[in-house]
């Protein structure tokens, strides 16, 4: 199963959702010096923000490195082939199931309620509630997974990949059924993540995504190839399983994802309660919070199902090109938007609870300025310098050009998607799940309309552009509504005036460096050019970087 798409959103299951769980959940009173006033506590808490953001970004970065490694190897083994298209399309419905039941929806609902239980009662009561939710989620996940497996064939033929050939649809069906095994494992590991974070433990949950990638690498390097990889004098074993080897590697990775976190449960004296009880107050509260969020996550994931469904009617390789383009765009989006939004949620939730409206407004304004200062240069730099990086996938010139254009289409939405990460959380912090729900619905509708139109004329790149514009529109709507309620939240004129000209200048510099007649690797030259452009932009975004350090 692919560790990619939203949330890792690239083209698979987990990165879409597991990223939502890496949320350092900051308890306002836990661990503070005794007899401290509110102001000193607030300052102490804010000083942790930059550290937490850095830690999350580092682990996200490590996962991206390992993820890129297995995606590059997959690309070099399978190219933009029907088998790889089938693999990428097969991930969508299992990914949707995970996201709805135990992904972002459950993370938003479970962590606050568990934290409240831990504070007002004790750890045993919290584990009791955790067990009841885990039992319910496991039963529901297994039940829906069985239904998806049973009706996999008609779903693939009419929803997932209606434009594929009969043989390719059969491959999608088989892979999707195997992916559901990983989905069940991920449903459990996602719950474990939430339980550990409530106990202020983040190391093992942060390591888990990399364990998944190690399983994927084993599948790509050992299970999939016909001929073993050569490492010096050593020839690695090979099982010749083809694309199924990648799928089984994903299942192994999902198991490792779960196992590495189990010692944390032992550390915090987890005990299992073999019960559910839908009338339990904590269970009812979690389910009530999950309702609107489940529908919102459904719309988020529906974008990816629609994306690949529309692309399945285009030329072979379009689905995979969209997956790889999304992967490239997700690197800056994850390190900027997801990391900041993840760490910011506990802080702004506390500010709302304490009725600190000015602090809430200031936190959002600072986050918006930081994101703009980072994503505007990143968008232009990556758009200009992406071609040498795409060449590492080993596609032919036509395939490379397709992925480059698709990536540029997605980059149109880099700023918007990063801003949505914060804006949506701002509404959840206010316990308002309806506005993000409505915004997500409009995003899906906008994307489908634009994707059908752009896809028919621009191909896969048009679909990517449609998604970029849809996310930009969602960000504009959410921040407009926030600014109406909290005047001054979107006061970012000074940042825009300073950053936009610098970003354009840096983009021209990157383009110039790439034209140099030097005898070095294309990839090395591309990395060097991006580095030079980034260094030039750095002095001009220092005010926002200082804001990040102070938050």
Q: At residue 185, does pLDDT exceed 60?
A: yes
Q: Reply yes or no on whether the pLDDT at 170 is more than 90.
A: yes
Between strands 230-231 and 234-235, the pairing is antiparallel
- What pLDDT is recorded for position 257? 93
Torsion of CA 75, 79, 80, 83, to 10 degrees: -90
**Torsion, CA 178, CA 179, CA 183, CA 185, rounded to 10:** 60
- Position 328 pLDDT exceeds 50: yes
520-539: average pLDDT:
92
Q: Of 90, 59, 65, give the one whose Cα is nearest residue 246.
A: 90
Assess contact for 259 and 188: CB atoms under 8 A: no
Cα separation, 429 vs 25, in Å, equals 13
Name every residue whose Cβ is closer than 8 Å to that of residue 257 and which is 6 or more positions away in sequence.
Answer: 14, 18, 185, 186, 189, 208, 209, 211, 212, 215
> What CA dihedral angle connects 395, 400, 404 and 406, to 10 degrees?
-70
CA dihedral 50, 52, 57, 58 (to 10 degrees): 110
pLDDT at 102: 58
Q: Share the mean pLDDT of the chain.
A: 84
CA within 13 Å, CB half, 69: 17
What is the band of 432 on the pLDDT scale with cuts at 50, 70, 90? confident
Please name which of 301, 342, 341 lies closest in space to residue 100, comparing C-alpha atoms.
Answer: 301
Q: Is 335 exposed, middle or buried (0-12, 13-18, 19+ CB in 10 A)?
A: buried
- pLDDT confidence of residue 377: 96
Neighbour tally for 57: CB within 10 Å: 18
Q: Which of 108-117, 220-229, 245-254, 412-421 has the lowest mean pLDDT?
A: 108-117
What is the pLDDT at residue 62?
Answer: 82
In the predicted structure, residue 248 carries a pLDDT above the cut 90: yes
Q: What does the pLDDT read at residue 48? A: 59
Q: Determine if residue 89 is left, alpha or beta; phi over 0 gives left, psi from -120 to 50 gives alpha, anything else beta.
A: alpha
Least trusted range by pLDDT, from 4-18, 234-248, 372-386: 4-18
The residue that leads in pLDDT, 429 or 369, is 369
Asked if pLDDT for residue 430 goes beyond 90, the answer is no
Give every CB contact of residue 437 below 8 A, 6+ residues apart in sequence.
292, 293, 295, 296, 299
* Distances, alpha carbon 417 to alpha carbons 150, 196, 280, 288, 414, in Å: 35, 28, 37, 27, 5
For residue 407, the model assigns a pLDDT of 96
- C-alpha 103/C-alpha 176 separation (Å) is 18
pLDDT for the residue numbered 239? 92
For residue 13, what pLDDT is reported? Answer: 34
The answer to whether 214 and 125 have CB atoms below 8 angstroms apart is no
Distance CA 227, CA 235 (A): 9
| Residue for token pair 């939430």 | 194
440 φ/ψ angles, rounded to the nearest 5 degrees: -65, -40
Beta-bridged to residue 230, according to DSSP, are: 235
What are the tens digits of pLDDT across the range 450-462?
A: 999 999 899 999 9
Quick one: pLDDT at residue 355? 83
Q: What is the pLDDT of residues 373-385, one digit of tens each?
A: 999 999 999 999 9
Task: Identify the DSSP state of 201.
Answer: -
Once rounded to an integer, what is the mean pLDDT over residues 407-429? 93
**In 3D, which of 183, 99, 104 has the Cα closest to residue 143?**
183
Average pLDDT, integer, range 68-88:
84
pLDDT over threshold 50, residue 410: yes
pLDDT at 108: 67
Q: What span, in angstroms and rounded, lies between the C-alpha atoms of 36 and 42?
A: 10
Contact 94, 182 (CB under 8 A): yes
Question: What is d(CA 291, CA 109) in angstroms, rounded to the nearest whole number?
Answer: 9
Q: Which of 107, 98, 138, 112 is nearest to 27 (CA)?
A: 112
| Cα 325 from Cα 403, distance rounded (Å) | 6
Tell me, yes or no, if the pTM score tops 0.75: no
Mean pLDDT of the region 191-218: 83
Inform me whether the pLDDT recorded for 5 exceeds 70: no
Q: Which of 77-81, 195-199, 240-244, 309-313 has the lowest mean pLDDT?
A: 195-199
pLDDT digits (tens, 9 = 90+) for 282-317: 888 888 777 787 888 788 878 888 898 898 888 888
Q: Is the pLDDT of residue 372 over 90?
A: yes
End-to-end CA distance of the chain: 37
Least confident of 65-74, 408-417, 504-513: 65-74
For the cut 50, the answer to whether the pLDDT of residue 34 exceeds it is: no
Q: How many CB atoms lie within 10 A of CB 523?
A: 13
DSSP-assigned letter for residue 9 = B
Give the whole-angstrom CA distance, residue 387 versus residue 198.
43
pLDDT, position 98: 76
- DSSP letter for each residue of 412-451: TTHHHHHHHHHHHHHHHHTT--HHHHHHHHHHHHHHHHHH
Looking at the predicted structure, is the pLDDT value of residue 201 above 60?
yes
φ, ψ for residue 226 (rounded to 5)? -75, -35
Determine contact, residues 352/429, Cβ cutoff 8 Å.
Answer: yes
pLDDT, one tens digit per residue, over 477-516 is 999 999 999 999 999 999 999 999 999 999 999 999 999 9
Beta bridge partners of 235: 230
């Amino acid at each position: 199963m692919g560790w990619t798409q939203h949330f890792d959103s690239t083209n698979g299951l987990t990165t879409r959702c597991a990223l939502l769980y890496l949320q350092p959940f900051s308890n306002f009173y836990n661990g503070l010096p005794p007899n401290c006033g509110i102001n000193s506590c607030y300052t102490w808490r804010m000083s942790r923000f930059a550290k937490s953001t850095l830690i999350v970004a580092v682990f996200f970065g490590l996962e991206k490195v390992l993820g890129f490694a297995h995606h590059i190897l997959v690309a070099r083994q399978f190219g933009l082939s029907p088998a790889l298209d089938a693999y990428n399309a097969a991930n969508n419905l299992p990914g949707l199931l995970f996201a709805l039941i135990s992904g972002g929806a459950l993370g938003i609902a479970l962590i606050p309620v568990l934290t409240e239980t831990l504070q007002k009662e004790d750890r045993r009561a919290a584990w009791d509630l955790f067990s009841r939710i885990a039992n319910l989620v496991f039963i529901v996940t297994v039940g829906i997974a069985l239904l998806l497996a049973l009706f996999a064939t008609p779903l693939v033929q009419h929803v997932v990949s209606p434009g594929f050939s009969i043989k390719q649809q059969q491959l999608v069906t088989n892979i999707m059924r195997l992916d559901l095994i990983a989905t069940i494992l991920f449903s459990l590991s996602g719950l474990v993540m939430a339980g550990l974070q409530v106990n202020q433990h983040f190391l093992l949950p942060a390591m888990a995504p990399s364990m998944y990638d190690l399983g994927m690498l084993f599948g790509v390097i050992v299970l999939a190839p016909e001929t073993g990889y050569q490492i010096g004098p050593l020839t690695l074993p090979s099982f010749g399983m083809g694309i199924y080897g990648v799928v089984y590697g994903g299942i192994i990775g999902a198991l490792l994802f779960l196992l590495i976190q189990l010692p944390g449960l032992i550390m915090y004296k987890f005990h299992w309660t073999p019960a559910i009880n839908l009338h339990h107050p904590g269970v009812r509260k979690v389910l009530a919070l999950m309702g609107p969020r489940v529908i919102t996550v459904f719309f988020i994931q529906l974008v990816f199902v629609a994306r690949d469904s529309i692309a399945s009617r285009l030329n072979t390789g379009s689905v995979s090109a969209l997956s790889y383009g999304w992967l490239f765009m997700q690197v800056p989006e994850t390190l900027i938007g997801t990391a900041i939004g993840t760490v910011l949620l506990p802080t702004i939730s506390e500010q709302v609870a304490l009725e600190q409206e000015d602090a809430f407004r200031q936190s959002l304004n600072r986050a918006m300025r930081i994101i703009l200062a980072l994503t505007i240069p990143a968008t232009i730099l990556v758009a200009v310098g992406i071609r040498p990086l795409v060449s590492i996938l080993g596609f032919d010139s036509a395939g490379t050009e397709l992925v480059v254009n698709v990536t540029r289409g997605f980059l149109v939405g880099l700023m918007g998607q990063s801003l949505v990460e914060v804006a949506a959380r701002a509404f959840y912090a206010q316990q308002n799940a309806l506005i993000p729900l409505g915004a997500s619905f409009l995003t899906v509708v906008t994307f489908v309309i634009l994707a059908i139109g752009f896809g028919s004329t621009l191909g896969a790149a048009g679909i990517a552009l449609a998604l970029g514009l849809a996310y930009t529109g969602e960000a504009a709507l959410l921040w407009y509504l926030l600014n109406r309620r909290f005047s001054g939240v979107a006061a970012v004129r000074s940042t825009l005036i300073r950053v936009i000209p610098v970003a354009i200048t840096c983009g021209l510099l990157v383009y110039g460096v790439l034209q140099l007649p030097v005898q070095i690797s294309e990839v090395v030259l591309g990395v060097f050019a991006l580095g030079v452009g980034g260094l030039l932009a750095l002095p001009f975004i220092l005010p926002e970087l200082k804001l990040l350090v102070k938050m």
